[in-house]
Amino acid sequence: MVTVIVRILSEHRRHGLGSEYLQAVMNQTRASRAEQINTVVLAANVDGLAFAIRHGFVETERYEVAGVAFIDLTLQDGVPER
């Protein structure tokens, strides 16, 4: 299992950088033979949640740590082949 967190500064979003970064990580994940990719998003990060869902992640759990809400997601179809 691999946990990936894609974080792109707001001024650099919507230029494909997050998708490019995620694809590079998925390529490395395939090479490591991991069977699952997870991510975690701050519940307040609506754009980050939408990004994860657009890329095939599905919500698996919501929880709080020290008053901060998080959402765990798993790539729905495992590690995709390229």
pLDDT on residue 61: 97
Count of domains observed in the chain:
1
Task: Domain of residue 68: give its range.
Answer: 2-75
Provide the CATH number for the domain around residue 19.
3.40.630.30
pLDDT on residue 45: 93
pTM reported for the whole predicted model? 0.82
Measure the CA–CA gap between 51 and 55, rounded to whole angstroms.
6
Give the tens place of pLDDT for each residue, 13-22.
889 999 998 8
Give the tens place of pLDDT for each residue, 25-38.
888 887 777 788 89
Q: Specify the 3-state DSSP secondary structure of 20.
A: helix
In a domain, 81, yes or no: no
In a domain, 46, yes or no: yes
